[in-house]
């Protein structure tokens, strides 16, 4: 659904397969290939069927119904649900464009793989509740005939959040919303916390919340590969390439009061964070900023040593720490699914379904994510998620 200018990388080794050369020599194998050569020549003559000399099977299709920019778990989830929800099999052609098929620096593969329902917004809780059901029943969704079942290695273990006296009231309010949405979360006093987790230093803790069900961690790489395998079996086409620009009619918008707004790219870096352009592990940052707090809260960390480490990207939305889902205000057939500030992987199954509903039906049918529309940026309407860490 995107009108985009794409830059594709063609493999030179895949070109020029119409004529063969003898192994070890430069002379053409005329005897073995004469009938094929005649067919090629005839294809250029008037009335002949066009048959190109070059193999173009590695190139993307000239036309497609939907182009998905980014082949990480969010993009693959959108592709899956578009094919899953299409009214007739094969009715929608979907192309996924990914610049790095190794995923060596992709957020998906470098993610910790956690999932929780302990959010402050109903939408985020609903997204994660659906996603954990999707993960638990992964082979009901992503099974492929004659392929082995997926094993996400899901480890159920609740998230434990701690609150000081200052933030205890907000934690109580958040847990109330979580329970209303169906999440299994309990509150614990410092005494109850100490009894359940005696290795924790409860100094400064006024209240704790703990996920009793539907929280834990899983293998992100397995989910990524499972989605790729499934959507390929559904007819989705992959292409290695990079989107260079989008075509839009304007870069100006107006607020509800008629004030003109200009859209432009903003890049913001927090000084206390490691350089986002470098994925080398910043051991000094961990040692100086993170380790002291860990050891203060869990004294056993004083006797532990880091054996291995890796770094990944944290797609942080500085506006309100929530994802951007829905239509672009200027490009009429472009839709967002980005900026989830650390919970994109865990919510990908539900977000993919929501975007597919929007594309196919014009509105959300399961979880209403209209509060995550891009329009909130230029309208100045924050949808604040408080449980981001």
pLDDT at 144: 97
Residue with the bigger pLDDT between 5 and 142: it is: 142
pLDDT at 81: 98
Beta pairing class for 66-69 and 94-98:
parallel
pLDDT at 35: 58
Summarised one tens digit per residue, pLDDT across range 215-232 is 999 999 999 999 999 999
The per-residue DSSP string of 60-112 comes to PPS--SEEEE--SHHHHHHHHHHHHH-SSTT-S-EEEEES-TT-TT-HHHHS-
pTM of the model: 0.80
Rounded to the nearest angstrom, the gap between the alpha carbon of residue 177 and the centroid of all alpha carbons in its chain is 26
Residues present in the chain in total: 389
Is the pLDDT reported for residue 56 higher than 80? no
Summarised one tens digit per residue, pLDDT across range 111-163 is 989 999 999 999 999 999 999 999 999 999 999 999 999 999 999 999 999 99
The per-residue pLDDT of the chain, averaged, comes to 84
pLDDT at 305: 86
Residue in the block written with tokens 């329902």: 117
pLDDT at 20: 34
pLDDT at 349: 97
pLDDT at 232: 96
Summarised one tens digit per residue, pLDDT across range 298-323 is 999 988 888 999 888 877 888 898 99
Summarised one tens digit per residue, pLDDT across range 254-282 is 666 777 766 666 555 555 666 767 888 88
Write down the H helix ranges in the chain.
30-44, 73-85, 107-110, 122-136, 138-142, 168-180, 190-196, 220-233, 283-285, 291-297, 344-361, 375-379
Rounded to the nearest angstrom, the gap between the alpha carbon of residue 43 and the centroid of all alpha carbons in its chain is 45
Q: What are phi and psi of 105, to 5 degrees?
A: -120, 15
pLDDT at 105: 86
Cβ atoms of 355 and 327 within 8 Å: the answer is no
Percent of the chain with pLDDT over 70: 78
Is the pLDDT reported for residue 336 higher than 70? yes
What one-character DSSP code corresponds to residue 222? H
pLDDT at 313: 82
């Amino acid at each position: 659904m995107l009108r985009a200018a794409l830059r594709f990388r063609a493999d030179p080794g895949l070109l020029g397969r119409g004529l063969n050369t003898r192994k070890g020599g430069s002379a053409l194998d005329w005897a073995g290939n004469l009938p094929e050569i005649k067919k090629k020549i005839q294809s250029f003559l008037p009335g002949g069927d066009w048959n190109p000399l070059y193999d173009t099977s590695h190139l993307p299709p000239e036309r497609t119904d939907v182009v998905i920019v980014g082949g990480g778990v969010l993009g693959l989830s959108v592709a899956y649900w578009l094919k899953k929800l299409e009214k007739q099999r094969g009715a929608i052609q979907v192309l996924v464009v990914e610049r790095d098929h190794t995923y060596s620096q992709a957020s998906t593969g470098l993610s910790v793989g956690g999932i929780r329902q302990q959010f402050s917004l109903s939408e985020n809780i609903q997204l994660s509740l659906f996603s954990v059901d999707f993960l638990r029943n992964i082979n009901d969704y992503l099974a492929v005939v004659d392929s082995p079942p997926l094993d996400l290695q899901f480890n159920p273990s609740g998230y434990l959040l701690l609150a000081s006296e200052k933030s205890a009231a907000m934690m109580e309010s958040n847990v109330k919303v979580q329970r209303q949405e169906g999440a299994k979360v309990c509150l614990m006093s410092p005494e109850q916390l100490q009894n359940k987790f005696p290795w924790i230093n409860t100094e400064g803790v006024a209240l704790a919340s703990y996920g009793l069900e539907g929280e834990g961690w899983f293998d992100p790489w397995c989910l990524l590969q499972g989605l790729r395998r499934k959507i390929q079996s559904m007819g989705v086409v992959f292409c290695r390439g990079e989107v260079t620009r989008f075509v839009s009619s304007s870069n100006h918008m107006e607020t509800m009061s008629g004030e003109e707004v200009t859209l432009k790219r903003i890049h913001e870096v927090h000084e206390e964070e490691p350089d986002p352009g470098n994925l080398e592990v910043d051991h000094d940052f961990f040692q100086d900023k993170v380790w002291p707090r860990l050891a203060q809260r869990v004294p056993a960390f004083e006797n532990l040593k880091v054996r291995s480490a890796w770094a990944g990207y944290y797609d942080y939305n500085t506006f309100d720490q929530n994802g951007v889902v829905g239509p672009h205000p200027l490009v009429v057939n472009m839709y967002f699914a980005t900026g989830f500030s650390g919970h994109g992987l865990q919510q990908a199954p539900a977000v993919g379904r929501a975007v597919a509903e929007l594309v196919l039906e014009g509105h959300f049918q399961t979880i209403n994510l209209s509060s995550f529309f891009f329009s909130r940026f230029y309208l100045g309407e924050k949808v604040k998620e408080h449980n981001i860490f």
